[in-house]
């Protein structure tokens, strides 16, 4: 039976490095966090498989380690950054971010997941993360500005309200699913403008807060 630390090392070597994750800080942060502690009961044995995890009761999905790692690498997080983790699910992404940034503010719309994230993060002794329950679209968010915003899932429409929370030079990274197949995209703020670059195609679920509303149909 392989122990958790060895499973994490194998995941980093066999999954993340082969998916062009080369940022040593990102690799070390993911290797430092026990992913099984953030999973639903019965899922722990598959914590380091190349798969997303569905929280069926909450209607939410934790991204696969490969996709999360590429998102974090694309964000180019610095040790003194303040980060907003949008849709933190059970807190795994926030735990990884805590090893990369100075301060992590996580938001999640599901109350049960907020409670789970708080408990798991506290058990892990991560004191630079706070988790609050609120809508993910940024309309009513009171914090910021942020150096980095991570969107834990896909969006069909440009996340304008979240982009407004970025500091000058701040980066927002998520998955643009506006054309069907998702692509990791990074926005960078310059004044009132937001340049963007697309990185790699990935398959992730679209967050309900960022899905395009269904128009009138005959």
What domains sit in the chain, N to C, each tagged with a CATH number? 4-210 (3.40.50.150)
CA distance 136 to 101: 21
- pLDDT score at 213: 54
3-state secondary structure the chain: CCCHHHHHHHHHHHHHHHHCCCCHHHHHHHHHCCHHHHCCCCCHHHCCCCCCEEECCCCEEECCHHHHHHHHHHHCCCCCCEEEEECCCCCHHHHHHHCCCCEEEEEECCHHHHHHHHHHHHHCCCCCEEEEECCCCCCCCCCCCEEEEEEEEEECCCCHHHHCCEEEEEEEEEEECCCCCEEEEEEEEECCEEEEEEEEEECCCECHHHCCCCCCCC
Going residue by residue through the chain, which has 218 residues, state the pLDDT in tens, using 9 for 90 and above.
568 999 999 999 999 999 999 999 999 999 999 999 999 888 888 899 989 999 877 778 999 999 999 999 999 999 999 999 999 999 999 999 999 999 999 999 999 999 999 999 999 999 999 999 999 999 999 999 999 999 999 999 999 999 999 999 999 999 999 987 899 999 999 999 999 999 999 999 999 888 875 444 43
- pLDDT score at 216: 41
32 CB-near residues (< 8 Å, 6+ apart): 96, 99
Helix 4-11 to helix 24-32 angle (10° resolution) is 150
CA distance 163 to 210: 13
């Amino acid at each position: 039976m392989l122990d958790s630390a060895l499973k994490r090392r194998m995941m980093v070597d066999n999954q993340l490095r082969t998916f062009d994750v080369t940022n040593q800080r990102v690799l070390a942060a993911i290797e430092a966090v026990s992913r099984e502690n953030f999973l639903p009961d019965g899922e722990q044995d598959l914590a380091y498989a190349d798969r997303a995890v569905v929280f069926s009761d909450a209607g939410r999905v934790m991204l696969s380690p490969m996709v999360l790692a590429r998102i974090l690498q694309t964000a180019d997080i610095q040790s003194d950054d303040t980060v907003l983790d949008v849709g933190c699910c059970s807190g795994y992404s926030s735990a990884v971010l805590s090893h990369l940034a100075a301060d992590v503010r996580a938001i999640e719309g599901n109350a049960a997941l907020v409670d789970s994230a708080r408990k798991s993060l506290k058990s892990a002794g991560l004191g630079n993360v706070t988790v609050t329950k609120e809508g993910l679209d940024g309309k009513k968010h009171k914090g910021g500005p942020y150096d980095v915003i991570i969107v834990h899932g896909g969006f069909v429409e440009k996340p304008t309200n979240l982009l407004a929370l970025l500091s000058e030079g701040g980066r927002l990274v998520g998955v643009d699913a506006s054309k069907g197949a998702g692509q990791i995209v990074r926005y960078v703020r310059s004044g009132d403008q937001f340049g963007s670059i697309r990185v790699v195609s990935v398959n992730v679920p679209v967050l309900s807060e960022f899905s395009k509303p269904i128009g009138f149909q005959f």
